[in-house]
Structure 1
Amino acid sequence: MADHLLEVRNLSVEFHTVMGVVKAVRNISYHLDRGETLAILGESGSGKSVSSSAIMNLIDMPPGRISSGEILLDGVDLLTMPTHKRREVNGRRIAMIFQDPLSHLNPVYSVGWQIREALTTHGTGSTEAQAEALRLLTRVGIPDPEKSLDKYPHEFSGGQRQRVMIAMALALRPDLLIADEPTTALDVTVQAEVLALLEELQQETGMAVLIITHDLGVVAEVADRVVVMEKGELVEAGTVRDVYKNPQHPYTRKLIAAAPGKGKMHSPGARGEPVLSVRDVRKHYGSFEALKGISFDLMPGETMAVVGESGSGKSTLARILLRLDEPDSGSALWKGRDLFQLSPAELYKLRRDLQMVFQDPTQSLNPRMTVYQLISEAWVIHPDILPKAKWRERVAELLVQVGLGPEHMGRYPHQFSGGQRQRIAIARALALEPQLIICDEAVSALDVSVQAQVIALLDKLRKDMGIAFIFIAHDLPVVRDFADHVMVMQKGNVVELGTVREVFETPRRDYTRALLAAGLDPDPDVQAANRAARLECAS
C-alpha cells in the first residue's frame, strides 16, 4: 500500500501555441490521503484546473504536453499506464464534477440514461444500472427521482444539475472525487446544500476529495489542507487554519486581503427624487407567476442589491426593466418616463443609458468577434459617442480598467477564462458610459482579487460618474461591501427591503436570516463557529 492515495510529483504541463510555449503548470508537488479533502486555491490562469485535468487525462495532446513529473494513484504512475487501463481508472477509481454541469451533461439524453451509461460502460447490467441510477438520484436529493430519471438537463435548476453530476460521478464509488469549482454559480443556500452533500457522501464512502476553487469561504468550510497556486507554481501549502492565519507568500496574503465581507458598509444619505421608480410589476409565464407586484425606488448613483435563491424572480425583473421581456402590468419610471410605454424608436435612444452585464459571458459575447469588435460595437450602433479614430485607444483604456490589457483586444472570447470573459462583458457595458447598469451575477465567476478590483472599479464609477446599479447577486459578502440598499426576493415577492446595514445586522424575516446564515466566511475559525450554530439550530 502506498503512503498516499494520490501523489503528484514535479508535474509540469505546457501548451504549444502560435504565440509560443505557455507553461501552464510548473513543477508542482502535493499529495492527498483517503478520506481527506484537499483544496487547490488560485485565480484564473494559476494552473489549478490544468493540473486536475492531467490527473483525469483530459488534456488535449497536442497542443498540450506533460513535460515532466509523475501522478501516482496508490503508487502506480498514471502517466505511464497503458490507455486501456487508464480508461478503467477514470470513473471507477477517479471521478470529476465540473463547474458548469449544463456544458458537461449531454442535452439530448435524459439524466437517467447518462447515469446508466456511466455504470454499463464499466460492466454493470442494465437492470442493476437502472436501480442504481434511481438510488443515486434519491441520495443526492433530486425531487421525485423516478420521474426525474426521464428528464433532460435543461429541465433542472443549476443546483439540481450539479446534484445530477455528483450522482454520475459517484455511480462507481470512486476512491477520489475531483470537484472543479462545483458551487461557483450557485445560490448561497444551494451552495451550502451541495457542500454538505459532498461531505456526507465522503463520510459514507471514505473517498478523498480534491476541490478546486477561488473561494476562501469554500476552503474554510470543507477542506482539511490547502495548496495555493499562482501562475502555474505552487507557492504555499498547509492546513487551512495555518495558511489563513499565518500566510507566508505575498500572493496568499493578497488573496486573503481581497476576500469580501470585511469592509465598511455603505451609509446612504437622505433620499431625494428617484432616477428609477418601479411600481407593482407583475409577470406570468403561463400559470407560473414569476413576479408578484414588485416595487422599489433607485436614486442616482445608488446601488440596489437584489438577492434571493434561483426562481425568486431576480433575473426576470432585470430583463423586464430593460424591455428584453414585457411585463403583464406595472410601471417603471426612468426620469419620469415609463419604460414600459416607450416606442421602439424611443427605447433605442434610451439603450445607451441602460446597460446590462449578464451572468454567463459565454452566451452574451459573440464568439466570432474579437474583443476589440465586441467593445467598439457600441460606438458602431451609437456613432455620436466617440470618433472612430479614438476607438482603439478607448478599448485599451477600458480593458485596463477591468484588469485586462491592450494586448487582449485581438483575441476571441474562447481564448479567455470564464472570469476574463466576464471582465470583457463589463468593459463592453461601460463603453456607452451608461447611467444605469444592471449586473446579473456579474462578478460571481470572478476570482476573489479580480472581484475586489471590479467592485472597486464599479464603486469608483458610481462616485465619479453618478452611475446607478441594480446588482443581482448570490454572494452576500460582496453585496455587503458594495450595496447601499438590499432587496430580498423569494418566489416572486419582495420579502425585505432596507439599507445594507439594516438587512445584514437586523434582518426581520426568517428567509433573510437563513440566507445570511448560509454564507461562508473565509476565516476557518469563524466558519467553524457558524457551522456549529447551524447544526445546533437544525437539531
Structure 2
Amino acid sequence: MADHLLEVRNLSVQFHTAGGIVKAVRDISWHLDRGETLAILGESGSGKSVSASAIMNLIDMPPGEITSGQILFEGRDLLALSAGERRLVNGKRIAMIFQDPLGHLNPVYTVGWQLVETMRVHGSRKDEAQRRALELLTRVGIPSPKDAMRKYPHQFSGGQRQRVMIAMALAMKPDIVIADEPTTALDVTVQAEVLALLDELQNETGMGLLLITHDLGVVAEVADRVVVMNAGEIVETGTPAAVYHNPQHPYTRKLIGAAPGRGEIHEPSGDGEPLLRVAGMTKSYGAFQALKHASFDLQPGETMAVVGESGSGKSTLARCLLRLEQADSGQALWKGRDLLSMPPKEMFGLRRQIQMVFQDPTQSLNPRMSVYDLIAEAWMIHPEILPKDKWRERVNELLSQVGLLPEHARRYPHQFSGGQRQRIAIARALALQPELIVCDEAVSALDVSIQAQVIALLDKLRRELKIAFIFIAHDLPVVRDFADHVMVMKAGEIVELGTAREIFENPRQDYTKRLLAAGLDPDPEIQRKRSEERERLSA
C-alpha cells in the first residue's frame, strides 16, 4: 500500500523560452492523503499551477520539460505511465477544475452535452449520464438546471461558468480533485456553497482535494494543511492556523500582511454636483428583467462598489452605462448629458473619459496583439493624448504601475497567468487617463499582494486625478478597503445603498447580512466563527 494517495517527490519543471531557460518548479515535495484538503498557496508565477499541470500531464513538451522527480498516485509513478494509461486516470480518477472556465468549455456545444459527453467517454450510459448531469448542475447552484442543460457557455455569467466546470470535474466521482483557483470568479455566497459542496463530497467519497489558490480566506475555510510556494520553491508548510499566526518565512509574512479588509473604512468626500446621475435604468432580455429601475449618484473621485450574487444585475448595469448593451428606459446623466440617448458619434468622443476593465481578460485581450500593441492601441484611436515617440516609455510606466515588467511588453496574452492578464487589462484602461473606470471584478483574479498594490494604485489615482470608480466585486474585504459607497443588488434591484461604514457596520437588509457572513477571513479562528454565523442565518 502507498503511504499517501498522491505524493510529489523532488519535482522540477523548466521551460525553454526565447529569453532562456525559466525554472518554474524547483525540487518540490509534498503529499495528499485520502479525505484531506491540501492548499498550495502562492502568487502568480510561484509554480503552483505548473506543478498541478504536471500531475494532469498538461505541460506542453517542448517548450516545457520535467527535469526530475516522481508523481506517485496510489504508489504508481504517473510520469512513467503510457499515454493510454494516463487517459484511464485523468478525468476519472484525478479530475481538475480550471481557473479560466471560458477557455476550457467548448463554445459550440451546450453545457449539458459537454457534461454528458464527459461521462460517456468514461463508459456511462446516456440516460445515466443525463440524469447525473442534471443532478450536478442542481448541486453546484445553477438556476433552472433543466433549461441550463440546453444553454451554451456564453449564456452564463462568469461565476455560473465556473460552477459548470466544477460539475464537470465531479462527474465521475474522482479520487482526487485538483482545483485551480476554483472560486475566483464566484460571489461570496456561491463561493461558500461551492466550498461546502466540495467538503460534503469529500465526506461522502473520501476524495483528496488539492486546492491551488492565492486567497488566504479560502485556505482558512477549507484547508487541512497548506504549502506556501514562491519562485518555484516551497518556502513553508503547516496547518492554516500555524502558518497564519506564526509564519516563519518573510514571503509568508508578506502575503498575510497584504490580506485585505484590515484598513480604515473610507469616508465619502461630501456632496456636490454628481459626475454621473443614474435614474430609473431598466433592462430586460425577453421576459427576464435583468435590471429594475436602478438609480444612484456618483461624485468625482469617489468609488461606488456594486456587490451581489451572480445574476443580480451588476454586470448588466455596467454594460448599459457604457452602451455595450442598450437600456430599455431610464437616464444616465454624465455631466448633465444622457449617455443612454447620446448619438454614436458623440458617444465615441466620451469613450476616453469612461473606461472599463472586464471580468474575463481572456475575452477582452486580443490574442494576436502583443502587450505593447494592446496598450498603445488606445493612443492610435485617440492620437491627441500622447505623441508616438512617448508610447514606449508610457507603456513601460503603466506595466510597472500594475506590477509587471517592461520586458513583458513583447509578450502575448497567452504567455501570462490569469492574474497577470488582468493587470494588463487594467494598464490598458489607465492609458487614456479616464475620469471614470468601471471595474467588473477587476481584481478578483489577482494575488493578495498584487491586489493590494493595484487597489493602492487605483486609490492613488482617485485622490490625485479625481478618477471615479464603479467597482463591481464579490470580494467584500477589498470593497471595505476601497469603496466610499456600497450598492447591494439582488435579482436586478438595488436592495440597499449606503456608505461603506453603514453597509459593513450596520447593514439593514437580511440579504446584506448574509453576504457579509459569507465572506472569508484569512484568520482561521475568525473564519470559524463566521462559518458558524452563516449556518445560524441559514437555519
Q: Name the TM-score, length of structure 2 as normaliser.
A: 0.96
**Residue in 1 aligned with 2:277?**
277
Distance in 1 (CA, whole Å) between partners of 2:404 and 2:137 is: 42
What is the CA deviation profile of residues 364-393 of structure 1, one whole-angstrom value per residue up to 9, with x for unaligned ones? 122222212211222212222222111111
Matching residue of 2:6: 6
Amino acid at match of 2:35: G
* Counterpart in the other structure of 1:392: 392
**Partners in 2 of 1:139 and 1:329 — Cα distance?**
36
Q: How far is the alpha carbon of 1:348 from its aligned partner? A: 2.1
More off after superposition, 283-292 vs 504-513: 283-292
Deviation of the 1:119 alpha carbon: 3.2
Q: Which residue of 1 aligns with 2:202?
A: 202
Q: CA deviation at 1:253?
A: 0.7
Partner of 2:524: 524
**Secondary structure of the corresponding residue to residue 534 of structure 1:** helix
Cα 1:313/1:63, change in 2 over 3 Å = same
Secondary structure of the corresponding residue to residue 91 of structure 1 = coil
| Gap change, CA 1:503 and 1:228, over 3 Å in 2 | same
> 5+ unaligned residues in a row in structure 1: which ranges?
none
1:432 aligns with 2:441: no
Query: Residues 283 and 161 of structure 1: is their aligned pair in 2 closer, same or farther, counting only changes over 3 Å?
Result: closer
Instruction: Give per-residue Cα distances to partners, 1:322-380, cap 9 Å, x unaligned.
Output: 22222222222222222233323322222221111111112112222221221122221
Rounded to whole Å, the distance in 2 between the matches of 1:52 and 1:441 is 25
Pairwise mapping of residues 506-517 of structure 1 onto structure 2 (< 5 A)? 506-517=506-517
How far is the alpha carbon of 1:55 from its aligned partner?
A: 0.8
Deviation, 1:159, is 4.1
The corresponding residue for 1:291 is: 291
Question: After the TM superposition, which residues 88-487 of structure 1 pair with which residues of structure 2 at under 5 Å, given as runs?
Answer: 88-143=88-143, 145=145, 148-487=148-487
The answer to which of 12-21 and 278-287 deviates more is: 278-287
SS state of the match for residue 409, structure 1? Answer: helix
Q: Which runs of 5+ in 2 are unaligned?
A: none
For the residue of structure 2 that corresponds to 1:404, the secondary structure is: coil
Q: Deviations over 1:421-461 (max 9, x none)?
A: 11111111111111111111111111111110000000000
- Which segment is superposed worse, 316-325 or 39-48? 316-325
Q: What is the SS of the residue equivalent to 1:461?
A: helix
Q: Could you give the per-residue CA deviations for residues 186-228 of structure 1, whole angstroms, max 9, x where no partner exists?
A: 1111111111111111100011100111111110101000001
Give the whole-Å Cα distance in 2 for the aligned partners of 1:344 and 1:134: 44
Are residues 108 and 374 of structure 1, via their aligned partners in 2, closer, same or farther at CA, if it must alter by over 3 Å?
Answer: closer
Q: Is 2:514–2:537's contact at 8 Å kept on the other side of the alignment?
A: no
2:28 alignment partner in structure 1? 28
Letter in 1 for 2:383: P
The number of residue pairs the alignment matches comes to 539
CA-CA distance at 1:151 after TM superposition: 4.3
Q: Which residue identity is paired with 1:16?
A: H
Please report how far the alpha carbon of residue 8 of structure 1 lies from its aligned counterpart in structure 2 after TM superposition. 0.6
Structure 1 residue 127 displacement after superposition: 4.6
User: In 1, Cα distance between the equivalents of 2:146 and 2:292?
Assistant: 32
Q: How far did 1:144 drift?
A: 5.2
Give distance in 2, aligned partners of 1:251 and 1:260: 17
Residue matched to 1:84: 84
Offset at residue 162 of structure 1 (A):
3.4
How far the C-alpha of 1:73 sits from its partner, in A, is 1.3
- Matching residue's letter, 1:7: E
What is the CA deviation profile of residues 149-168 of structure 1, one whole-angstrom value per residue up to 9, with x for unaligned ones? 45444444444443433333
Query: Match for 2:212: what amino acid?
Result: I
**Aligned-partner Cα distance in 1 for 2:487–2:148:** 33
Letter in 1 for 2:122: H
Note closer, same or farther for the CA distance 1:194–1:486 as it changes in structure 2 (3 Å cut).
same
Mapped to 1, the partners of 2:147 and 2:355 lie a distance apart of: 41
Return the alpha-carbon distance in structure 2 between the equivalents of residues 381 and 348 of structure 1: 10
1 CA distance for matches of 2:537 and 2:349? 53
RMSD of the alignment, in Å? 1.8
Higher mean C-alpha displacement, 391-400 vs 97-106: 97-106
Q: 2: distance between equivalents of 1:367 and 1:90?
A: 28
After superposition, the Cα gap between the structure-2 partners of 1:168 and 1:332, relative to the gap in structure 1 and judged at 3 Å, is: closer
| Amino acid aligned to 2:72 | L
TM-score of the two chains, using structure 1 as the length reference: 0.96
- Cα 1:479–1:76 change in 2 (3 A) is same
Distance, in Å, in 2 between the alignment partners of 1:62 and 1:317 is 45
Report SS of the residue matched to 2:340: helix
* 1:49 Cα deviation after fit: 0.7
Which one-letter code corresponds to 1:524 in the other structure?
A: P
**For residues 119 and 266 of structure 1, what CA distance do their matches in structure 2 show?**
50
* Distance across 1 between alignment mates of 2:398 and 2:235: 31
Code of the aligned partner of 1:20: G
> In 2, Cα distance between the equivalents of 1:321 and 1:362?
22
Deviation at 1:131, TM superposition (A): 4.4
Question: Deviation of residue 62 (structure 1)?
Answer: 1.4
Identity %: 75
User: CA 1:412–1:145 in structure 2 vs 1: closer, same or farther (change >3 Å)?
Assistant: closer
Give the aligned residue type for 2:59. I
Could you tell me which amino acid in structure 1 is paired with residue 14 of structure 2? E
39-48 or 169-178, larger mean C-alpha shift: 169-178
- Cα separation, partners in 2 of 1:373 and 1:159, compared to 1, 3 Å: closer
Q: Tell whether 2:527 aligns with 1:534.
A: no
State the alpha-carbon separation in 1 of the partners of residues 144 and 347 from structure 2: 44
In structure 1, C-alpha distance between the alignment counterparts of 2:148 and 2:362, rounded to whole Å: 28
CA shift in 2, pair 1:276/1:94, >3 Å:
same
1:445-494 per-residue CA deviation (whole Å, 9 max, x = no partner) reads 11111110000000000111111111111111110000001111111211
